[in-house]
């Protein structure tokens, strides 16, 4: 696949155009917002969700983007984020508000048919926060204002020493002022407010969706600075909540009209 690489003058980060690589068409049904996309680490199928109600759709897809799950498969719980826990060999999810976390019970085909409570309480910054999985650290991350907070998936506890301040818009050549303090209450206008992605890429671990510029901005967990921008197609429609995910080295945006998770690389 051909990528166009542009060097942005006056900044230390690069800007790269990303292009469609896969589509995950969700079943017809209720709900208009995509929740997340997550990888089953056992068989590499992609599991995708519609957020907002336990009766809304979950579906899973093979590497070619073909749906291989039953068309009537439901979330079973009011899930926001979703991740595969290798130790439990199943998916977990964080629920709306104070619902806590749940673990899915799945059959041999990978079809979830029940959920069980994992940890109780609001184990997240906001009621609609979407958890994203960091396999290296056995943790999930959430966006909290201009910061990323971390929770241990084995205990459900927040790991306060792993809180990362993102210096939004600042780079090596355009550094933040010496007295910069990250706002933990709210992210600046024109950014997706529910979702941060975790890529695992050195100096580009955390990604924010800028809905004004139609770019994914990638920030370093080490110094909080922006090192990369990924330019989405000009015709993509973005929302300030949900509808944004990262899985299998692919950046996903949910097309609410066509009801498709579109993956870009």
Predicted pLDDT of residue 221: 97
Predicted pLDDT of residue 8: 36
pTM for this predicted structure: 0.94
pLDDT at residue 3 tops 90: no
Q: Break the chain into its structural domains and give their ranges.
A: 5-258
* Mean of pLDDT values over 213-240: 98
Contact 264, 51 (CB under 8 A): no
Predicted pLDDT of residue 17: 98
pLDDT digits (tens, 9 = 90+) for 98-153: 999 999 999 999 999 999 999 999 999 999 999 999 999 999 999 999 999 999 99
* 177 Cβ contact partners less than 8 Å away, ≥ 6 residues apart: none
Predicted pLDDT of residue 5: 37
End-to-end CA distance of the chain: 9
Predicted pLDDT of residue 13: 73
pLDDT at residue 25 tops 60: yes
pLDDT digits (tens, 9 = 90+) for 156-207: 999 999 999 999 999 999 999 999 999 999 999 999 999 999 999 999 999 9
The architecture (CATH level 2) of 5-258 comes to: 7 Propeller (2.130)
Q: How confident is the model at residue 7 (pLDDT cuts 50, 70, 90)?
A: very low
pLDDT at residue 12 tops 70: no
Predicted pLDDT of residue 1: 38
pLDDT digits (tens, 9 = 90+) for 35-59: 999 999 999 999 999 999 999 999 9
């Amino acid at each position: 696949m051909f990528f166009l690489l542009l060097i942005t003058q006056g900044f230390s980060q690069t800007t790269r155009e990303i292009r469609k690589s896969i589509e995950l068409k969700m079943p017809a049904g209720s709900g208009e917002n995509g929740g997340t996309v997550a990888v089953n680490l056992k068989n590499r199928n992609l599991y995708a969700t519609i957020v907002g109600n336990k009766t809304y759709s979950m579906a899973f897809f093979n590497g070619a983007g073909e749906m291989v799950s039953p068309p009537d498969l439901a979330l079973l719980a009011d899930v926001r984020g979703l991740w595969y826990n290798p130790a439990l060999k199943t998916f977990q999810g964080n629920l709306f508000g104070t619902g806590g976390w749940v673990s899915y019970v799945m059959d041999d085909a990978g079809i979830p048919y029940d959920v069980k409570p994992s940890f109780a309480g609001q184990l997240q910054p906001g009621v609609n926060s979407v958890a994203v999985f960091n396999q290296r650290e056995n943790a999930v991350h959430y966006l909290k204002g201009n910061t990323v907070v971390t929770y241990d998936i084995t205990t459900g506890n927040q790991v306060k020493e792993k809180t990362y301040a993102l210096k939004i818009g600042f780079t090596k050549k355009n550094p933040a002022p010496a007295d910069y303090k990250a706002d933990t209450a709210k992210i600046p206008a024109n950014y997706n407010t529910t979702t941060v992605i975790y890529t695992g890429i050195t100096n580009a671990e955390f990604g924010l969706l800028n809905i004004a510029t139609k770019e994914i901005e990638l920030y370093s967990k080490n110094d909080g600075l922006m090192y990369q921008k990924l330019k989405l197609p000009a015709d993509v429609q973005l929302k300030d909540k949900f509808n944004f995910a990262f899985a299998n080295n692919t950046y996903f945006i949910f097309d609410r009209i066509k009801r498709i998770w579109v993956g870009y690389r």
